[in-house]
Structure 1
Amino acid sequence: MTKSTAPRRTRRSLLRAAVLPVAVAGSLVLVPLPSAFAAPSADVVISEVYGGGGNSGATLKNDFIELANKGGAAFGLAGYSVQYLPGAPSAGSKWGVTALTGSVAPGGRYLIAEAAGTGGTVVLPTPDATGTLALSGASGTVALVQGTDPLSCKTAADCAADPRIKDLVGFGTAVVREGSGPVTGASATASVARTAGLPDTDDNAADLKAGAPTPVNAAGEAPEGGDTPTGPTEPGSVRIHDIQGNTRLSPKTGKNIAGVPGIVTGVRTYGSKGFWIQDPNPDADPATSEGLFVYTGSTPTVAVGDSVLVTGKVAEYYPALSAGGQSITQLTAPAVTVLSAGNAVPAPFVLNGDSIPSAYAPDAAGGSIEGLTLAPASYALDRYESLEGMNVRVENTRVVQATDQYSELWVQARKQDLASSRGGAMYLGYDKPNSGRVMVQSLIPTADRPFPTANVGDELTGVTDGPLDYNRFGGYTLAATTLGALKDNGLQREVTDRALPSEVAIATYNVENLDPSDPDEKFSELAKGVVTNLRSPDIVVLEEIQDNNGAVNDGTVDASSTIAKFTAAIAAAGGPAYDWRSIDPENNKDGGEPGGNIRTVFLFNPARVSFTDTPGGSATSAVDVTGTGKWASLTASPGWIDPGNEAWSSSRKPMVGEFKFHNKKIFVIANHFNSKGGDQGLDSRFQAPARSSEVQRTKQAAVEQAFVAKLLAADPNARVVSVGDFNDYQFSPALATLTKDGVLRDLVNCLPANERYSYVFQGNSQVLDHSLVSPALKHVEYDVVHINSEFASQASDHDPQIVRIKP
């Protein structure tokens, strides 16, 4: 047990949402193979190999190997290597080795520069690793290996049996390859690369094709310099709608298309640099988009209104960091000719309740919808995809998620969706995703028009126009060339009712990775929330209290300095002198930022309530119930519920404590269930999306429900209050499990439907935090106090909530 002493401050920093030019995962088709290496990879694969660098006729100076990560989490490369063997190895042939460092971001690339030849004019983008392997331009084998010792295998069968090989590509006439044969076509001017979706069926001939080299590094940079390609002079026969096709994947992926005509509708000079073009002469099929993004990799030289011809290679890029995101069809390595300037851009498609269907997506029983013909009149996701890259408009729209640190906000283009009591968009079921939510970014230079700082319920009046994009953090995005004016509707932070002297007030507050290195202003704002908005509750359950040095990963687990600084800030804000109790976790065993060691903490006002200290609570010992009736009590207070159970792997364990108020015993459980990391988003290309993290939370709920049931079996009149960040919805299997047999009731269900939220994500006002009580507690008042989630200025990303009880 950890106790407070005398009083004694890393907010997570995310990079600007940059869209990188990568063609990543599609649906996989697995076929029987005559021989297989490792199981088909769900994360890192060898995406491209080029051995013609510097050869006669080559443009690029260096050979290269490119890796891609189609998984939902970063893939560490420490201890890995790429290795090369000639296509027809002799008895004396040795595998060459290039050791790797760092990691491959989810949806990202990793570029390894190898030997340079004497020819070529273009240098690679800055490589992520550098070696000296001299690859053949025509035939050879490249392997991604766990370890840096050279491989010894020289046949396909022997290499297939080596468990160190994570992926392998044989090209040309290589003896060592995967599956039916090597991929053919490599030359001084052609690399071999995986096709759309990065398939890995362990058959090189099927998974990869030859084409123009397209090296991309982890920063999303493509080659610059060298000879400038000559722009097209005549329109080709292919139009934008031919490239987009009537499904989510282009039928032209991987092909070089010459002379695509269009009008420039938007230019992006940050992140994934490039521009959008749109054909002013559409076809008759509403499923085929007339817009397309042209990835340049450097600041574009075109302007909105230019009529252009573009020659480039068609690629599908999956920008979303979360699993299952949609792709963007784009032209890469472009050559551009400007025919004229100052042309009118095509009229925008208006997004509203008439054009956006209420149904969100077709159901493919969890499979990919990428191959389905788009039905834009039936499904919102299909409507957005059919407009990808096109000029779109929203008019007089309500803001449903406040402006964030990246100058982004969300609006509700479809006004028929249920609004919250304060102007948000209510998320009340897996089948009610609010189909009209659209993110808004700006292509207008900040000096010309600062991005509006908006809160939920404000409005963007007039018109907001621009190309329709897809964001790295998920969600279709209007990249605005025209921004509506902000109408401030005066949203105010809530203040809860004052508790009566006969009521005990119990609050829960996720304080978002709080540690002593955070700015004093964060501590002050959080303290103000406790004192002013929550009115200094008798008990405050905190989530995401980090250890004394935050995300420094040095084994520190003590959080006394963090808590002391917070309680001092509360006292300075006019609040009580809170005492506290907590249990230090084992180092890096409870999830969150590595080194941060987040945990739950009880704060309590000793002038109003007392804490029953019972020794024995630790990170490895389980609390139990002893006694019956009014003598029922905990074997440890504070104590953790079954911390050794596999349900709590890499997650916080519920902490239960015994309090007394007016000499009446109250059991309080502090919760922070495992996160939703790894779940597929609502807008996933897999429908219905998989919620893999839900399995663990349901197991966690079962463990806690069993403990509460045991406590109630000992004393049916036990007063139990379970609060915290459960990371799940009131309609989820986890909450259904936690409330099974009526041992607890979820108070959020007592609120009107349009008030059930404590968090806003991708424009949806939703419930992640809960307060639950046992049947003995009849006189209960409950309030979610909205002070953070709806505002551009936030002390935390969660709203606190409070329960007032007459025990």
Structure 2
Amino acid sequence: MPGTTSVTPSEGPLSSRLARTCALTLAALCSTLFVLPSSASSAAASGAGEGTRVHDIQGPTRVSPLKGERVTDVPGVVTAIRGFGSARGFWLQDPSPDDDPSTSEGIFVYTGGTTPDVSVGDALRVTGDVSEFYPGGAGSGGQSLTQLSKATWTVESHGNRLPRAEHLDADRVPGRYAPRAKNDDGNIEPLTLRPRSYALDLYESLEGMRTSVRNAPVTGPTTQYNELWVTADPHENRTPRGGTLYGSYTQQNGARMKVSSLIPFSERPFPEANVGDALKGTTAGPLDYDQFGGYAVRATTLGELKDRGLAREKTRPQREDELSVATYNVENLSPKTDPAKFTRLAEALVTNLASPDIVTVEEVQDNTGPADDGTVAADATLEKLTAAIKDAGGPAYEWRQINPADNADGGQPGGNIRVAFLYNPQRVSFTDRPGGDATTPVQAVERDGAPALSASPGRIAPQDAAWEASRKPLAGEFRFRGRPVFVIANHFSSKGGGDLEGDQPLEGRIQPPNRYSEPQRIEQGKLVNSFVKDLRAIDPKAVVVAAGDFNDFNFSPTLDALRAGRALTSPMNRLPANERYGYVFNGNSQSLDHVLTSPGAGRVDYDVVHINAEFHDQSSDHDPSVVRLPLS
């Protein structure tokens, strides 16, 4: 996950959206609500009676100073209605704002599973309980939404003009992302909002209010949940293909935001957008916050899709004296997967990746896929994939892998995902050595004065605590033009945490976010690094390639651990900085997949082949990468 490597549910768009709405509502009932700051408004002190307005409820901080109070006859105009799912309600905005830019004039009125009997443009007086709802629960680390519940209202008039939307652009959104907390737990909730200084503070100060963007570039493609990400600043860390690069922990890209629609899909289908496209014209609606992406415009006006014609890339073929090694996360592949996905993966490997000599594949599931029935073998999965490649005009790949212990390696329960090797026997050979299994560690040994593997394939330190609920690296010994080449297939632990605690959201209330999953990946990186050093201790010129989904960024401590002592280097670093990505999460283009090489590999040629992550129609959520080693 990138950021977090996310887990993608299998439901279709509408049912998924409803399921997520239900989940958020249930979370609201279970959320632990934070204690109010010690200072409260005069309205709160007086019992929050008549005369209370929306900006009094919202207050100048993230948590309402009136939390827990019942307010009466709060005036406002209905600006939007959510009439689907179990988190129904409407947005109310005061057309007579105060002079404080830190206090929002909008609020969500929660009506549960009941569609509210109001219309956009109605002027109301609302009575209700002030509460803070944490999407995903308070423990998720996200921001809260101030809302009114158990509400009653009276309609004063119909057809009123809506307050003008607050326009968001490069001039309006601050370059700095979030303030630093003044407490030990990193919680920025008690801080007074500074919307002219920090992007997250600006969005919080507009919570529930009508906001708009114009001609907004798409930085995150349309998902199966009918949502996408845009940016209010087209020039913010732009990639050559129109995305927004997440290039460091301090490069959060505050101008990006999520867009979903409140317009019935029967009236206006949601646009199927790729990175680099744009929503032409105005997109406007109340500014909301959710667990899956942070601040979001719930569009009541949706711009027209402008297709920029983003093309899928093709890498060049390897030369005769070049060994090409690719890595590809095939995202929960099993015989139960739609056959069309096998076809698309195969065509990509043959056409877009030019039939690499060796491919490390990640997220290969067992023969029964997500059925939790004790099956661990994956031969049917790999046979189906290699057959599809041959049908697509590619080589007759052979494969090697080791079955994991049942439900020991994380991922989708019952799926038993693992890493595996595909290789073209017309170009390379595999050195089989017995002894590799789920629990026996492979060792670097010396044979006739040269490095070799004690077992090939073999797993690196599979019983070390660093691999708890995570995939174990697979080491294999290959031979190309008479030279031994050692390849390590990797899939490090998820940023989502799997069975362990995951990272806090970039857009959350804890700043900077805690990266709880990172220490495990650092230890994993150290183990792979140590194994590479063992091979190079026997021969400093040993050719080693470590490839896979490392679930971490090129600038992360995890990658530093892998590269320690220059045991491995990152060829990605020779790409222009704005091209170092192969995954898109919440509108940020980032790097989770890597191919690292030892010094003995020489000066290699590296390419991230963009065929998935930037597109709404994906065969995987990861782009593959390929490295070409000049081995004569």
TM-score (normalised: structure 1) = 0.72
Larger RCO, structures 1/2 (Cα 8 Å, 6+ apart)? 2
**2:162 aligns to what?**
345
* Structure 1 position 741 matched with structure 2 position 565: yes
Letter in 1 for 2:559: L
Q: SS in structure 2 opposite 1:367?
A: coil
1:351-406 per-position Cα deviation (integer Å, ceiling 9, x unaligned): 11111101100112651101110010110000000000000010111000001111
Q: SS in structure 2 opposite 1:287?
A: coil
Q: SS in structure 2 opposite 1:363?
A: coil
Counterpart selection for 1:418 from 226, 230, 237: 237
Q: SS in structure 2 opposite 1:706?
A: helix
Give distance in 2, aligned partners of 1:565 and 1:495: 24
Q: How far 1:474 sits from its partner (Å)?
A: 3.0
Q: Which runs of 4+ in 1 moved over 3 A?
A: 17-23, 107-110
Letter in 1 for 2:507: D
Counterpart selection for 2:10 from 8, 13, 20: 13
Q: How far 1:340 sits from its partner (Å)?
A: 1.1
> Does the 8 Å contact 2:167/2:211 carry over to 1?
yes
Query: Alpha carbons of 1:195 and 1:546: their partners in 2 closer, same or farther (altered >3 Å)?
Result: closer
Give distance in 1, aligned partners of 2:347 and 2:447: 41
* Structure 1 position 523 matched with structure 2 position 339: no
Give distance in 2, aligned partners of 1:477 and 1:368: 21
Give distance in 1, aligned partners of 2:508 and 2:218: 23
Letter in 1 for 2:141: G
- Greater gyration radius: 1
**2:76 aligns to what?**
262
* Structure 1 position 720 matched with structure 2 position 537: no
Counterpart selection for 2:54 from 233, 240, 249: 240
**1:755 aligns to what?**
579
1:529-557 per-position Cα deviation (integer Å, ceiling 9, x unaligned): 11111011111110000001111111110
**2:273 aligns to what?**
454
**1:371 aligns to what?**
190
Give distance in 2, aligned partners of 1:741 and 1:699: 15
In the alignment of these two chains, the number of paired residues is 598
* Structure 1 position 481 matched with structure 2 position 300: yes
The 5 A counterparts of 1:631-646 are: 631-646=450-465
Q: How far 1:563 sits from its partner (Å)?
A: 0.7
Counterpart selection for 2:152 from 328, 331, 335: 335
Counterpart selection for 2:613 from 789, 793, 801: 789
Counterpart selection for 1:355 from 166, 172, 175: 172
Q: How far 1:12 sits from its partner (Å)?
A: 3.5
The 5 A counterparts of 1:31-70 are: none
- RMSD, matched Cα: 1.8
Give distance in 2, aligned partners of 1:302 and 1:671: 54
Q: SS in structure 2 opposite 1:804?
A: strand
1:183-220 per-position Cα deviation (integer Å, ceiling 9, x unaligned): xxxxxxxxxxx983389xxxxxxxxxxxxxxxxxxxxx
> Does the 8 Å contact 1:323/1:679 carry over to 2?
no
**2:133 aligns to what?**
317
1:171-193 per-position Cα deviation (integer Å, ceiling 9, x unaligned): xxxxxxxxxxxxxxxxxxxxxxx
Give distance in 2, aligned partners of 1:532 and 1:702: 35
Counterpart selection for 1:296 from 101, 108, 111: 111
**2:499 aligns to what?**
none
Q: How far 1:416 sits from its partner (Å)?
A: 3.6
Q: How far 1:702 sits from its partner (Å)?
A: 0.7
Q: SS in structure 2 opposite 1:337?
A: strand
Q: Sequence identity, in percent?
A: 54
**1:274 aligns to what?**
89
The 5 A counterparts of 1:45-124 are: 107=27, 109=29
Query: Alpha carbons of 1:22 and 1:568: their partners in 2 closer, same or farther (altered >3 Å)?
Result: closer
Q: How far 1:501 sits from its partner (Å)?
A: 1.3
> Does the 8 Å contact 1:196/1:254 carry over to 2?
no
Give distance in 1, aligned partners of 2:427 and 2:298: 53
Q: SS in structure 1 opposite 2:600?
A: coil
Counterpart selection for 2:495 from 669, 672, 676: 676
Q: How far 1:629 sits from its partner (Å)?
A: 7.9
Q: SS in structure 2 opposite 1:687?
A: coil
Q: SS in structure 2 opposite 1:530?
A: helix
Give distance in 2, aligned partners of 1:351 and 1:345: 18
Give distance in 1, aligned partners of 2:312 and 2:119: 43
Counterpart selection for 1:196 from 33, 55, 75: 33
1:481-519 per-position Cα deviation (integer Å, ceiling 9, x unaligned): 111111100001101011111111111000000011111
Give distance in 2, aligned partners of 1:386 and 1:198: 20
Give distance in 1, aligned partners of 2:552 and 2:8: 23
Letter in 2 for 1:372: L
Give distance in 2, aligned partners of 1:286 and 1:378: 12
- Structure 2 residue ranges without an equivalent (≥5): 1-6, 37-48, 497-501
**2:314 aligns to what?**
495
Q: How far 1:22 sits from its partner (Å)?
A: 7.3
Give distance in 2, aligned partners of 1:13 and 1:640: 31
More helix as a share of residues: 2
Q: How far 1:628 sits from its partner (Å)?
A: 6.4
**2:44 aligns to what?**
none
1:224-263 per-position Cα deviation (integer Å, ceiling 9, x unaligned): xxxxxxxxxxx93100000000000011111111111101
Query: Alpha carbons of 1:514 and 1:11: their partners in 2 closer, same or farther (altered >3 Å)?
Result: farther
1:17-69 per-position Cα deviation (integer Å, ceiling 9, x unaligned): 6446979xxxxxxxxxxxxxxxxxxxxxxxxxxxxxxxxxxxxxxxxxxxxxx
Give distance in 2, aligned partners of 1:543 and 1:478: 35
Query: Alpha carbons of 1:709 and 1:426: their partners in 2 closer, same or farther (altered >3 Å)?
Result: same
The 5 A counterparts of 1:122-201 are: 196-197=33-34
Query: Alpha carbons of 1:676 and 1:626: their partners in 2 closer, same or farther (altered >3 Å)?
Result: same
Query: Alpha carbons of 1:601 and 1:505: their partners in 2 closer, same or farther (altered >3 Å)?
Result: same
> Does the 8 Å contact 2:543/2:601 carry over to 1?
yes
Q: How far 1:475 sits from its partner (Å)?
A: 1.1
Give distance in 2, aligned partners of 1:765 and 1:708: 29
* Structure 1 position 544 matched with structure 2 position 363: yes
The 5 A counterparts of 1:631-670 are: 631-670=450-489
> Does the 8 Å contact 1:20/1:319 carry over to 2?
no
Larger deviation, residues 505-514 vs 301-310 = 301-310
Q: How far 1:269 sits from its partner (Å)?
A: 1.2
Q: How far 1:415 sits from its partner (Å)?
A: 2.8
Give distance in 2, aligned partners of 1:538 and 1:620: 28
1:552-602 per-position Cα deviation (integer Å, ceiling 9, x unaligned): 111110011111111111111111111000000001110001111000010
> Does the 8 Å contact 1:541/1:603 carry over to 2?
yes
**2:46 aligns to what?**
none
**2:389 aligns to what?**
570
Letter in 1 for 2:166: F
> Does the 8 Å contact 1:441/1:479 carry over to 2?
yes
Query: Alpha carbons of 1:436 and 1:716: their partners in 2 closer, same or farther (altered >3 Å)?
Result: same
> Does the 8 Å contact 2:571/2:604 carry over to 1?
no
Q: How far 1:472 sits from its partner (Å)?
A: 2.8
> Does the 8 Å contact 1:320/1:326 carry over to 2?
no
Letter in 1 for 2:144: S
> Does the 8 Å contact 1:586/1:619 carry over to 2?
yes
Q: How far 1:11 sits from its partner (Å)?
A: 7.5
* Structure 1 position 395 matched with structure 2 position 214: yes
TM-score (normalised: structure 2) = 0.92
1:717-751 per-position Cα deviation (integer Å, ceiling 9, x unaligned): 10000000000001111101110010100121111
Give distance in 1, aligned partners of 2:24 and 2:545: 49
Letter in 2 for 1:296: T
> Does the 8 Å contact 1:19/1:472 carry over to 2?
no
> Does the 8 Å contact 1:366/1:689 carry over to 2?
no
* Structure 1 position 770 matched with structure 2 position 586: no
Letter in 1 for 2:117: T
Give distance in 2, aligned partners of 1:314 and 1:109: 14
Give distance in 1, aligned partners of 2:24 and 2:440: 48
Give distance in 2, aligned partners of 1:665 and 1:431: 41
